[in-house]
């Protein structure tokens, strides 16, 4: 399938390739990275997606005015120029309809767009989250100031026309930054949350929560993680960068206890809520920097059989790796969304006595160059508890 905007948008940089070629390309990228960094690892066949279009569950919409008319779309690659798009192939169809209606309303209500150069105006972005299994939708208007004329009319029209909209929020971001949600959002309609079903569990999230972009491939990833860890019922797990608890809670039935650590207190609140609503009693969650938590765990002589990390695209830090290895776990599971930073971090883990024998790839982002991967690291020399 082709898109008229693919060359100027740049969001789907592999869309021109047949899907089997995309998968082969991603395998080769990772294999070359491993070879060039002199790592001895087997690259297993990538887990391709059944759903390669309409899979995104988080969408950030940008706005611009062309020839006196407001249009919506995505930023062109490496720029803040809005590419007007009425039908992005990666957006679910019902979400695309909501985006088009919001665009019409912004235009007809003459809502002023934010100007990054002068830092004036109102509407910066609209963030939309979609729960594929429950069909719940969250909309968050990101504005340059709190005053939002026509806000009540906008909300009333949207919830009347689209009953799947569970909640609508507004986040005020007046800073000169590329970060979309700078501050906590306040609720305009609903309770500020949506709930999705993942791995036979219910997960409630907010506007700022991390949640894998492709629901079905996330289940593939977490199933793969479970198989690689091979947890025993007496084992304990430390889930760092735990977010709203998706990974740890999906593993809680396999082990004695999961401890989730996350620096974002809001995410920890959702993690506790998710444990409670799924009747999971062997998971505890702590709002703390993961590296600091591991340092304190060493001081108290705490032990974890397995440590899990799923850091941001920038990977983790040398300090995190040192402290994780000092806890002497039997296994470390590393989930990564950037193989370049993963390979860098694997080199540091190796110096601390932990190596991976193989790497598994999951195509979380079909039609794009992004690659999700997972490795299991184990001690390659005898270590003491």
The residues that are catalytic are 337
CA angle 218, 220, 222 (to 5 degrees): 70
Let me know: does 367 contact 12? Beta carbons within 8 Å: yes
Burial 304-326 (b: 16+ CB within 10 A, else e): bbbbbbbbeeebbeeebbbbbbe
User: Measured between alpha carbons, how far is 342 from 40 in angstroms, rounded to an integer?
Assistant: 14
Let me know: does 22 contact 366? Beta carbons within 8 Å: yes
Rounded alpha-carbon distances, angstroms, from residue 357 to 5, 34, 36, 227, 231: 41, 12, 16, 15, 18
Per the rule left: phi > 0, alpha: psi between -120 and 50, beta: everything else, 343 is alpha
Let me know: does 109 contact 122? Beta carbons within 8 Å: no
């Amino acid at each position: 399938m082709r898109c008229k905007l693919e060359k100027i948008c740049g969001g789907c940089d592999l869309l021109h390739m047949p899907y089997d070629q995309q998968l082969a390309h991603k395998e080769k990228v990772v294999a070359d990275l491993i070879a060039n960094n002199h790592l001895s690892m087997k690259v297993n066949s990538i887990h391709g997606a059944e759903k390669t279009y309409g899979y995104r569950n988080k969408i950030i919409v940008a706005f611009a005015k062309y020839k006196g008319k407001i249009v919506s779309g995505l930023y062109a690659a490496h720029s803040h120029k809005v590419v007007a798009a009425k039908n992005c192939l990666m957006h679910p169809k019902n979400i695309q309809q909501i985006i088009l209606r919001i665009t019409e309303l912004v235009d007809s209500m003459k809502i002023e767009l934010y100007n990054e150069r002068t830092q004036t105006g109102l509407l910066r972005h609209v963030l939309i989250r979609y729960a594929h299994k429950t069909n719940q939708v969250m909309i968050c208007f990101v504005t340059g100031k709190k005053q939002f004329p026509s806000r009540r009319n906008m909300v009333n029209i949207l919830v009347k026309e689209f009953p799947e909209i569970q909640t609508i929020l507004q986040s005020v971001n007046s800073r000169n930054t590329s970060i979309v949600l700078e501050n906590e959002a306040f609720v305009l309609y609903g309770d500020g949350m949506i709930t999705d079903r993942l791995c036979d569990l219910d997960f409630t999230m907010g506007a700022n929560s991390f949640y894998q972009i492709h629901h079905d491939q996330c289940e593939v990833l977490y199933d793969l993680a479970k198989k690689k860890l091979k947890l025993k019922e007496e084992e304990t797990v430390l889930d760092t960068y735990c977010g709203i608890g998706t990974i740890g809670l999906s593993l809680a039935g396999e082990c004695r206890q999961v401890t989730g650590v996350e620096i974002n207190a809001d995410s920890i609140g959702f993690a506790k809520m998710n444990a409670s609503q799924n009747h999971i009693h062997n998971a505890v969650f702590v709002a703390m920097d993961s590296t600091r938590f591991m340092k304190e765990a060493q001081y108290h002589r705490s032990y974890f059989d397995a440590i899990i990390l799923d850091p941001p695209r920038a990977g983790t830090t040398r300090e995190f790796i040192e402290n994780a290895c000092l806890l002497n776990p039997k296994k470390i599971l590393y989930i990564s969304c950037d193989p370049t930073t993963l390979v860098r971090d694997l080199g540091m883990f190796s110096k601390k006595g932990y190596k991976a024998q193989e790497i598994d790839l999951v195509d979380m982002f079909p039609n794009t160059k992004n690659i999700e991967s997972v490795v299991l690291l184990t001690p390659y020399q005898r270590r003491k508890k």
